[in-house]
Structure 1
Amino acid sequence: MRWFKQSPFKLLAPLLFLLLALLFLVSYPRKKENYGVFLGLSMTPDGAEEGLHSDDKETDQLVFLSQYKTVVLSPGSFTKENLLYLHRAGTKAYAYINVGALENYAPEYSRFKALSLAPYENWEDEAWIDVSNQEWQNYITENVAEEIAELGFDGFFLDNFDVYYQFPKDEIYQGLHTVLNNLQKYKMPIILNGGDSFVSRALEEDSSRLLFQGVNQEDVFTSYNFDTDTSSEQDPDTRSYYQDYLEKAKSAGLSVYILEYMADAKLSKEISAYCKEKQFQWYNAAGIFLTAGKA
């Protein structure tokens, strides 16, 4: 009997095919999530898991963040090198700035505590601040924003514009407007978190000359309960109000982002369908402190 002798290529072909397939799976870029808010994510060694070296933790965190197209981060936890890594991965990073309130643990607390207007409900270490004060405005736009721009962030995520809802005075509105105007020199896009009263007035007065490019709204579909650390569905009237507001913002040319807390699978499916239809981006946080990981 004559043995059939195969060529080396035919013998190796299945193995080569398998190796090429594995290389393709490893190198092929995963589909990125659109949006994530991770204010509680820390790059410092204090947050490292037991037995995990801080450098390993930093790499793991950056790999995690690179799975998103756009992320919102606390600027103090990141370096230029971190942001360069994210940029190379195709991820845009917005830096969080607390414009309308002051935390009692912040380095600038002693300097500005006299500007406190009232306690911030559910956040006992925070108070609303008088944004009409020029020194506060300059601190935000000249100190905080400049450091953020030098680090290499892609944009600003400005929080607590709801101070105008809490204190609906013209000087508060104008103070927030001044902050926005002074930030224009950095030529970086701006997202406002909350602040529906401020945004609605801005849309009514001069929607063609807005000083910000996007809005983020929390709790459109969910309602977070601070007492029990649980989340339930938002009441229909509030949900309808926010949807109407966000759709008006979109019609004015603004990008729209939604941040929900612990939406279950059924509600998440509904939110995803709504956001796809409206061309909004949304993120489902696992908890109120916005650490890594989704609900």
Structure 2
Amino acid sequence: MLNEQHLRDPKLPRKGIILAGGAGTRLHPITRGISKQLIPVYDKPMVYYPLSVLMLAGIREILLISTPDDIGGFRRLLGNGEQWGISISYAEQANPNGLPEAFIIAEDFLAGSASALILGDNIFYGHGFSSQLRGASEQSSGATVFAYPVSNPQRYGVIEFDESGQAIGLEEKPQSPRSKYAITGLYFFDTDACEVARNLTPSKRGELEIVDLIGHYLSHQSLHVEQFGRGFAWLDTGTRDSLLDACNFVAAIEKRQGLKIGCPEEIAWRNNWIASAQLTQLGDMMNNDYGRYLIELVGATERD
């Protein structure tokens, strides 16, 4: 049994949560037989992208939460994570009761650690992103969220700023938004998140709302907001059009630059979590361009 001091020790390594539940009804009939987060975004399963974000943040212990029907597919795809030098556990969310429920489900897994929660259908790409992630992960108290300017803020949770750029308000899908900045599906919380989530009151929709969890930190003046601007891409793949846009975006970047987006094998290798021989072995297991890319990473380093 963990003692109380251990449960509140900010020095414990931060752990990650991927929330990959939901019925994916906006993508029917595509998602009638498969979880949305298991369908491909160009050359890899959708869930690889949020997984890679947590790995870029230096997080090695990850819990994936999904529905009872879909959890087996994630187990088959990801295993226990050892191939990437990480640990992946699994938990079920029987009903979609809101994003903060992830912290109630994950409480035993977190065991007093700070956390990072990412939604399984979000894709992030931009220069300097790794540094922002590491900075957020190293904060020992409070919460960090990421805001992105959108043309249709009515569809999102929106964060309001004062003239100095300080966050002063939150709204969930407002009819008349006070800001164009949507809160993305990536959140870093300190060790209080589980307790705060347990004490939230369900909204009129009957769900626990992520804006209420974030609002707790805002009201206690312990919320940090990172703004993404020009040159950064945040893609939500919840509709057919946005899924197609994401596929085309990833394809265009990868073909143009010859570099992959959301590649857990490469991130694990560059983080020194797996050796070059293991990366080569992973590449040899794939008879395609993805596998050759992994093998060529090792070859390029050896030539240098």
Q: Same fold (TM over 0.5)?
A: no
Larger Rg: 1
| Structure having greater relative contact order (Cα 8 Å, sep ≥ 6) | 2
TM-score class, shorter: under 0.3
The structure with the greater share of residues assigned to helix is 1
Could you tell me the TM-score, scaled by structure 2's length?
Answer: 0.26
TM-score, with length taken from structure 1: 0.26
